């Protein structure tokens, strides 16, 4: 028990070891398609396999397979030592990189069935995010309806990079389906939509994409509020996973100020934008992007204006804090009440665990 | 014709000197640049017109995005009448200096030859109709920045004119601004000791966010800060400030509350991924602090006013980098006497923000026509 109490870990990345591992969950048509085309599965990734941020020192990778592809190692590295009461699996299989919608849908279903059979059925502490073919929202909705009532799935995984921001009305079928199944909609680091990750084109380096992902999270938050997704779906809950949150106060101040001047454009927004954020959006704790002075981080947490927003995450196997110093995974100096909320109670309430 | 009742012109001298770093001059008519264009480009402007990257139009809050009281009584467009700009801005607020930012779209035109011709025309128009008649004005030098070799020519042509205090770009470029394509322009700017200013707006031909096209003007407007953040990331990680140690960047109308969290994230990522960018030799926040200035409008309004001071504590260098701006004549104008939060601010900071940081960066003299300079007084 690293942190003195059991935790709910909102961000554990497991990985599909190889496309063949999905064969039991694919039809003969797709098995043949994959064999005859030498298709390796959607291997585009927001995580270069050997980048220093992708695998933290101390993470054990199974022989010849990607980190996170073994349940036993996740039990050994995460669930047991952190005393994880509930851990949420986020399998970032890049089905959104597939332009063929039928392939994307088949691979999504296969991954979700693989999650059920090989992870959820074998480890009661785990829950999972389902992946969906986001390029065709109607097909994504069908997948949500197909498997959304399985008690192991607590949310839908949408890569934060997308062809259009998710508040765009083309994505309504996804939110309607999530509402029918009472699932959280989560936006997660990464995505391979094909359009550039900045409003000024393609950067040169991975480090730019890595840092710039926070700006895309900001874009999505702004868009989902302004387009009225939260007004349309009164019970919608949105989780931002691995996007950071120290930027949130500055974004809330900017949107609230602009909304005062421009709100006639969005008459469905009946409250200041930050009110939607505090009520409906939650943030995984890592990465904290912490300032050199820990007191400043506590000031940012106070600026959030709510103790309910942050949910503990290890972001296993990614590197943010030293795994040899697990106490650095949570800000120091929090009150016992706030610490407990971040470590478990905020996620318990949000995910209805 | 629009008529607006005006208050009598009584100089509103605040206790502090004021330099306004973001004033938008407009054309009196679409043909107002014709005297400064050759026949070929007059014909082009009349027949083909300005062709940039389309598909990015979000109707503004108001016509011309202007304050409703900024239409001159003579019916000309807001910002197009120097006398009215004097009356409503320079005199009314008793400005020491004002820096013009013409938003006439020249920099991002797809016809690069036309972009260069139009840039030249805008700059000559600024000299003849704004800078020569009004000694309190300075301006940004408009350049065809998507064709950097042509931008260099314009910097060579006018970079030493005393009226131009920076090179002016739109914040949303076709490629991230740190990429090599733009380096010749930085080299020329440094050679003429001109900062590079990047202003709210424009479009480089890709969707305006990293997640595609938003739907509303509110997103275009409030989301602009993400475009500024992306360009800071590019400038720092591309090693531009190692390559051009004297380069200064001014971010205009992009906000600044996002500076501390972005600086922290830049540093945190560099500690892990820095090997990919060996030209970045120091923690990114150090380049940020040394090389980047920011204008204030639209002023940050934290939920609790005292959190404004926390921004300055989290990124202490901002005290020397923030420069007041009004954005006249636009609807989201910040008035000099209302921009700063009514709380206790660090000693000396209000004077720096309202005028002295800009005076130093742009090497502006003491206030014109005063026997004793208020700059000296406010610094004492």
pTM confidence score: 0.96
What is the overall mean pLDDT for chain B?
93
Which sequence spans correspond to the domains of chain B?
19-379
Over residues A123-165, the pLDDT tens digits come to: 999 999 999 999 999 999 999 999 999 999 999 999 999 999 9
Q: Identify from A200, A305, A318 which residue to disrupt to test chain B contact, counting B C-beta atoms within 10 A and taking the largest count.
A: A200
Q: Identify from A198, A206, A251, A299 which residue to disrupt to test chain B contact, counting B C-beta atoms within 10 A and taking the largest count.
A: A198
Residue B254, Ramachandran bin (φ over 0: left; ψ between -120 and 50: alpha; else beta): alpha
Q: Is the model's pLDDT at A198 over the cut of 80?
A: yes
Q: Is residue A1 part of a domain?
A: no
- Contact (CB<8Å) A51/B273: yes
Give residue B61's pLDDT band: very low, low, confident or very high (50, 70, 90): confident
Give the CATH architecture of domain B19-379.
Alpha-Beta Barrel (3.20)
Count of alpha carbons within 13 Å of B17, Cβ hemisphere only? 29
**A72 burial class (0-12, 13-18, 19+ CB within 10 angstroms)?**
exposed
Give residue A18's pLDDT band: very low, low, confident or very high (50, 70, 90): very high
- Contact of B313 with chain A, judged by CB distance below 8 Å, is answered with yes
**What is the SS3 string spanning chain A?**
CCCCCCEEEEEECCCCCCHHHHHHHCCHHHHHHHHHHCCCCCCCCCCCCCCCCCCCCCCCCCCCCCCCCCHHHHHHHHHCCCCEEEEEECCCCCHHHCCCHHHHHHHHHHHHHHHHHHHHCCCCCEEEEEECCCCCHHHHHHHHHHHCCCCCEEEEEEECCCCCCCCCHHHHHHHHHHHHCCCEEEEECCCCCCCCCCCCCCCCCHHHHHHHHHHHHHHHHHHHHHCCHHHHCCCCCEEEECCCCCCHHHHHHHHHHHHHHHHHHCCCCCCCHHHHHHHHEEEECCCCCCCCCHHHHHHHHHHCCCCCCEECCCCECCCCCCCCCHHHHCCCCCCHHHHHHHHHHHHHHHHCC
Question: Closest approach of chain A CAs to the CA of B345, in angstroms?
Answer: 17
- Contact of B255 with chain A, judged by CB distance below 8 Å, is answered with yes
ipTM: 0.97
Tell me what pLDDT residue B373 has: 42
Give residue B10's pLDDT band: very low, low, confident or very high (50, 70, 90): low
3-class secondary-structure state, position B348: coil
Task: Point out the residue among B210, B215, B314 whose CB comes nearest to the CB of A216.
Answer: B210
For A261, the domain range is 7-351
Q: Is the model's pLDDT at A316 over the cut of 90?
A: yes
Tell me what pLDDT residue A88 has: 98
Place of tokens 């005292």: B306
Q: Which residues of chain A make contact with B234, given a CB cutoff of 8 A?
A: 198, 200, 203-204, 208
> Could you tell me where the beta strands, DSSP code E, fall in B247-366?
249-252, 292-295, 322-323
Please tell me the total count of domains within chain A: 1
- Contact of B145 with chain A, judged by CB distance below 8 Å, is answered with no
- Contact (CB<8Å) B208/A199: yes
Q: Which residues of chain A make contact with B182, given a CB cutoff of 8 A?
A: none
Place of tokens 């990114």: B284
Give residue B367's pLDDT band: very low, low, confident or very high (50, 70, 90): confident
Q: Is the model's pLDDT at B378 over the cut of 50?
A: no
Give residue B16's pLDDT band: very low, low, confident or very high (50, 70, 90): very high
Q: Is the model's pLDDT at A62 over the cut of 50?
A: yes
Tell me what pLDDT residue B14 has: 65
Give residue B3's pLDDT band: very low, low, confident or very high (50, 70, 90): very low
Tell me what pLDDT residue B8 has: 44
Q: Identify from B208, B222, B299 which residue to disrupt to test chain A contact, counting A C-beta atoms within 10 A and taking the largest count.
A: B222
Tell me what pLDDT residue B271 has: 97
What is the overall mean pLDDT for chain A?
96
User: What is the C-alpha to C-alpha distance for residues A163 and A199, in angstroms, rounded to an integer?
Assistant: 12
Tell me what pLDDT residue A64 has: 86
Tell me what pLDDT residue B59 has: 86
Contact B298, A257 (CB under 8 A): yes
Tell me what pLDDT residue B370 has: 59
Q: Which H/E stretch holds residue B273?
A: helix B259-273
Q: Which of residues 31-70 of B touch A (CB under 8 A)?
A: 61
């Amino acid at each position: 028990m690293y942190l003195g109490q059991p935790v709910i870990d909102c961000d554990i990345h497991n990985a599909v070891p190889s496309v063949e591992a999905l064969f039991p969950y694919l039809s003969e048509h797709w098995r043949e398609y994959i064999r005859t085309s030498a298709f390796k599965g959607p291997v585009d990734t927001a995580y270069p396999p050997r980048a220093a941020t992708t695998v933290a020192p101390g993470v054990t990778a199974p022989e010849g397979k990607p980190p996170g592809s073994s349940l036993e190692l996740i039990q050994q590295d995460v669930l047991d030592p952190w005393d994880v009461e509930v851990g949420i699996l986020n399998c970032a299989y890049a089905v959104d990189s597939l332009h063929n919608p039928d392939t994307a849908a088949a691979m999504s279903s296969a991954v979700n069935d693989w999650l059920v059979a090989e992870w959820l059925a074998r480890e009661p502490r785990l829950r999972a995010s389902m992946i969906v073919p986001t390029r065709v929202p109607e097909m994504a909705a069908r997948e949500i309806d197909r498997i959304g009532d399985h008690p192991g799935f607590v949310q839908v995984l949408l890569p934060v990079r997308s062809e259009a921001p998710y508040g765009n009305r083309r994505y309504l079928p996804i939110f309607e389906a999530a509402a029918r199944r009472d699932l959280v909609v989560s936006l997660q680091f990464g995505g391979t939509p094909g359009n550039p990750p900045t409003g000024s084109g393609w950067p040169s380096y991975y480090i730019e994409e890595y840092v710039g992902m926070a700006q895309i999270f900001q874009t999505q938050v702004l868009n989902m509020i302004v387009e009225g997704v939260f007004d349309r779906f009164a019970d919608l809950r949105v989780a931002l996973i691995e996007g950071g949150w120290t930027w949130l106060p500055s974004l809330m101040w900017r949107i609230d100020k602009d909304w005062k001047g421009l709100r006639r454009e969005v008459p469905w927004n009946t409250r200041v934008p930050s009110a939607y954020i505090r009520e409906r959006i939650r943030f995984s704790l890592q990465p904290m992007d912490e300032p050199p002075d820990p007191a400043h981080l506590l000031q940012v947490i106070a600026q959030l204006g709510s103790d309910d927003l942050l949910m503990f995450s290890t972001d296993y196997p990614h590197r943010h804090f030293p795994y040899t110093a697990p106490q650095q995974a949570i800000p120091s100096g929090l009150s016992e009440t706030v610490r407990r909320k971040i470590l478990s109670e905020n996620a318990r309430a949000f995910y209805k665990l | 014709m629009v008529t607006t009742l005006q208050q009598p012109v009584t100089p509103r001298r605040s206790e502090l000197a004021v330099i306004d770093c973001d004033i938008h001059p407009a054309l009196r008519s679409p043909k107002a640049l014709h005297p400064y264009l050759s026949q070929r480009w007059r014909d082009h402007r009349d027949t083909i017109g300005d062709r940039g990257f389309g598909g990015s139009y979000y109707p503004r809050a108001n016509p011309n995005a202007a304050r409703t009281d900024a239409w001159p009584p003579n019916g000309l467009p807001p910002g197009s009448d120097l006398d009215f700009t004097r009356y409503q801005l320079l005199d009314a607020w008793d400005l020491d200096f004002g820096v013009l930012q013409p938003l006439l779209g020249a920099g991002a035109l797809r016809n690069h030859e036309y972009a260069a011709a139009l840039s030249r025309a805008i700059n000559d128009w600024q000299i003849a109709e704004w800078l020569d008649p009004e000694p309190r004005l300075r301006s940004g030098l408009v350049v065809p920045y998507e064709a950097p070799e042509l931008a260099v020519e314009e910097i060579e042509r006018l970079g030493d004119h005393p009226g131009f205090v920076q090179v002016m770009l739109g914040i949303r470029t076709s490629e991230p601004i740190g990429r090599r394509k733009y380096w010749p322009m930085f080299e020329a700017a440094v050679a003429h000791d001109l900062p590079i200013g990047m202003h709210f707006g424009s479009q480089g031909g890709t969707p305006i966010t990293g997640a595609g096209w938003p739907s509303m003007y509110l997103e275009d407007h409030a989301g602009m800060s993400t475009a500024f953040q992306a360009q800071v990331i590019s400038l720092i990680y591309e090693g531009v400030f190692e390559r051009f140690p004297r380069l200064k960047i001014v971010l205009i109308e992009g906000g600044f509350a996002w500076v501390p969290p972005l600086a922290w994230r830049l540093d945190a990522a560099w500690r892990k991924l820095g090997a990919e960018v060996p030209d970045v030799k120091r923690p990114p926040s150090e380049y940020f602090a040394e090389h980047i200035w920011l204008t204030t409008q639209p002023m940050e309004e934290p939920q609790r006013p005292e959190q404004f001071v926390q921004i300055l504590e989290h990124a202490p260098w901002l005290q020397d980098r923030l420069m007041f701006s009004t954005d006249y004549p636009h609807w989201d104008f910040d008035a000099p006497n209302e921009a700063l939060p009514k709380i206790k601010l660090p000693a000396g900071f209000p004077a720096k923000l309202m005028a002295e940081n800009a005076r130093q960066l742009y090497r502006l003299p003491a206030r014109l026509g005063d026997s004793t300079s208020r700059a000296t007084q406010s610094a004492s």
